[in-house]
Structure 1
Amino acid sequence: MKIEQFLKRIPDFKEIQESPLVLEGRDVAFQTSVILKNGYCQGTGFAQDAKLARQIALSEALERQIVFDLAQSSQKAEFLLDEYPSTCGFAVGYDAESTKHRAVAEAVERWVRSKWIDDRYFLLEFPLKSQEINSLEGWFAKHFTEVRCFVSSNQIVVEGVPHSANSLIVVGLTRNGAFVGSKTVLDGKVPLVSALVELYRHLRLSEEDNQTYRELEVIKHFANNKSLALEQILRATRRPMPEPQLRFLKEVPTGVEGVFCYRALCENFRGWHGNDVRRFVY
């Protein structure tokens, strides 16, 4: 991977920031951020390998740049950005097939979140037991008074082939707030740490004062409205949940050799964009 190729696609790039997460005197993971000239963080990556963390951050930064460019182009409607004006269902990666599957997983993840909160479908909950998690997972969990875990297993057909879509949603509670993180994978087990990383990132974003965008408004709202989030979780009692149907799947040119981008979307769901900050969806 040539970093220079990525940075040419991100015109306002300023710098890459990298730092280790140190536990018990050793580096156990790495955080990478791609920072723009205006101070905005366009991409983040977290992994136990420093090189992988950088790849994830650069991929996310490129993904957001692609979405921004498409939204300003004549291809906006072609990729359904007129209906879902967000990064929902986009994925960037270094292998075409796996990137396509990650886009579908992202689409299912957003679909599950909407079915749970908007349509009130029940999700199975299981306890997060401290003795069953490793030190890295525990480090993220300790920033919350309680972490609740919800799972969903669905089947989705991609280009005629059925796949198992496994989703994990983690809800972290603080004294006044509720935060959420999630991850969906096709044909595999969801790594708990992936959902916890997103959960922790949302906690930290709630403390930001120098950035304003739609997702942050919702995060900050629920940072002080825990009871509203818990009410929405409690009312999710409908069964059984339907199966997701793929509505859209298409490759997006990246302009970077050896790097691929896809967008996928499911039928019948509400994206996290919109005007209602009272929905526990972001």
Structure 2
Amino acid sequence: MIPFDNSRLRQFRSLLFLPASNPRAIEKARTLDADLVILDLEDAVREEDKDSARAAAIEATAQGFAGKPVAIRVNSKGSPHFGADYACVRKSKADYVVLAKVDTPKEIHDARSLMERPVMAMIETPRGVLDAVAIARDAAAFIAGTNDLSASLGIPDGAGRSGLAYALQRIVLAARAAGIAAFDGVYNRLESDEGLAAECVEGRAYGFDGKSVIHPSQIATVNRIFAPSPQEVEAARRLIEAAGGGAERHDGRMIEDLHVAQARALLAKAGG
């Protein structure tokens, strides 16, 4: 097993995907407030740009992102690009690997062994959803691949996320059972701040730790909604101070040790 700090992953709110083939996007990412930068070698990169994208990812991770952690998303194990992507990650200074279209636990095990990095698994196929519990045992985190999952399930474009409810809940449940982080999928519309905010609120209500983003304009909204509000922080502090152990009354409700643990986790996400 490759050790990693899962508590660090649980603090992430925004995961910024950007094509490793886009030097301007890479440079801009160094100035943004995304909690994790993910250099994409998969869907966002055209076939003819795959080789140059790998070289750019190696160089970008060597230069760093102003202290922010960075991941490289590689093609799935069945792709003809997987071998070259694996060699790219081994040469890079990436903190994590994001593995696309994970269907089986073996894919995570093999990727960890080959690339010597913690692997964040994209759950974006029906089989991946159904096998999520087993996959989570070796994964560092889950990322819901809502676009591919919607397509594979036959959900019409623009139909909303009601058809994904079971899959999203199963992804979070499997992640929590294994004690790993879980991140919601991307929001595709770039000019609908209200729609993005609503989906963030929904994702947080499902239990996701944060959300993937595909444009810098989405980062602030995601960070705001997935961070505890000042009111939540103050309420958590009051609860911890008031708790004396066991079941007791606080602010008009019954609390016990699990509520104290939730309050401490909230304060950790808030940075104190």
TM over 0.5: no
- For the aligned pair, the TM-score class normalised by the smaller chain equals under 0.3
Task: Tell me which protein shows more helix as a share of its residues.
Answer: 2
Using CA pairs under 8 Å that are at least 6 residues apart, name the structure with larger relative contact order, 1 or 2: 1
Normalized per residue, the structure richer in strand is 1
TM-score under structure 1 normalisation? Answer: 0.26
